[in-house]
Amino acid sequence: IVLSYYNDGTEYPLRGRECSSQQIPTIKKKFEDYASFSTATLADVYTEESLESSLHYQVKSFSSIYLENQGDAFVKHDLPIEAQISSINKIVVDDYDNDTNLDVVVVGNLYSSEVETPRNDASNGLLLKGNGKGRFTATRTLESGLYAPGDVKDMAKIKVRGKDHLILSKNSDYVQLIQVNKSK
């Protein structure tokens, strides 16, 4: 997979020389230093012929979303901006504030990435309160009590001694248990 972007109508490789040459070693021979690679277009790196015979996909958004099922079609909704600060790995839906509207807890981050991509580590988890009409509002950590930092890979609802909890598993870290206090 080759990722690219456009700048003033010219297509450039998104990945740098280091990651690109790990996948295609001949790139190091073609571009002997980082300076020469830094100005190369996508066609300079991969040739017009290979690009023409390749499969191409285009992405217009990397936003975290939810899809609303309206029976005969799905409608895309972006999650609030506070949910866009890092990758989301798990979503658990429930009525967390006893207002009869579904709310959402999201957790995530991504620590393991290649050398040219910084890790996604900005999320401490987030409670999104639903209004019952398909819209969600982010709740501050101090208000929700939800604090789930780290490289969270999974989350599930469980009962411990009759009380609702969320159990979180984290990559190379401890398991976290959070008691859910359902109140307005």
Give the pLDDT score at 114.
Answer: 80
Is the pLDDT at 184 greater than 70? The verdict is: no
Q: Does some domain include residue 61?
A: no
Tell me: do 86 and 175 sit in the same domain. Answer: yes
**Contact between residue 79 and residue 128 where contact means Cβ atoms under 8 Å apart:** yes
Tell me: do 165 and 84 sit in the same domain. Answer: yes
Q: Does some domain include residue 63?
A: no
**Contact between residue 105 and residue 116 where contact means Cβ atoms under 8 Å apart:** no
Q: What is the pLDDT of residues 50-76, one digit of tens each?
A: 999 999 999 999 999 999 999 999 999
Residue 46 belongs to domain spanning: 4-52
Q: What is the pLDDT of residues 101-128, one digit of tens each?
A: 999 999 999 999 888 888 999 999 999 9
Q: Does some domain include residue 124?
A: yes
Tell me: do 87 and 172 sit in the same domain. Answer: yes
Percentage of residues of the chain with pLDDT beyond 90: 90
Tell me: do 85 and 121 sit in the same domain. Answer: yes
Is the pLDDT at 12 greater than 70? The verdict is: yes
Tell me: do 87 and 156 sit in the same domain. Answer: yes
Tell me: do 124 and 173 sit in the same domain. Answer: yes
Mean pLDDT of the chain: 94
What is the number of domains present in the chain? 2
Give the pLDDT score at 47.
Answer: 87
Q: Is 82 strand, coil or helix?
A: helix
Q: Does some domain include residue 71?
A: no
Q: Which amino acid is at 149?
A: P
Tell me: do 102 and 43 sit in the same domain. Answer: no
Tell me: do 43 and 84 sit in the same domain. Answer: no
Q: Does some domain include residue 8?
A: yes
Name the residue with higher pLDDT: 47 or 64.
64
Only one residue has tokens 């690219």, namely: 4
Tell me: do 44 and 122 sit in the same domain. Answer: no
Tell me: do 37 and 120 sit in the same domain. Answer: no
Q: How far apart are alpha carbons 49 and 54 in whole angstroms?
A: 9
Q: How far apart are alpha carbons 76 and 93 in whole angstroms?
A: 17
Q: What single-letter DSSP state applies at residue 70?
A: -
Is the pLDDT at 182 greater than 80? The verdict is: no
Q: Does some domain include residue 28?
A: yes
**Contact between residue 122 and residue 86 where contact means Cβ atoms under 8 Å apart:** yes
Q: Does some domain include residue 57?
A: no
Q: How far apart are alpha carbons 165 and 14 in whole angstroms?
A: 41
Is the pLDDT at 183 greater than 70? The verdict is: no
Q: Does some domain include residue 31?
A: yes
Tell me: do 86 and 44 sit in the same domain. Answer: no
Mean pLDDT of the 33-38 span: 96
Q: How far apart are alpha carbons 111 and 171 in whole angstroms?
A: 9
Tell me: do 147 and 108 sit in the same domain. Answer: yes
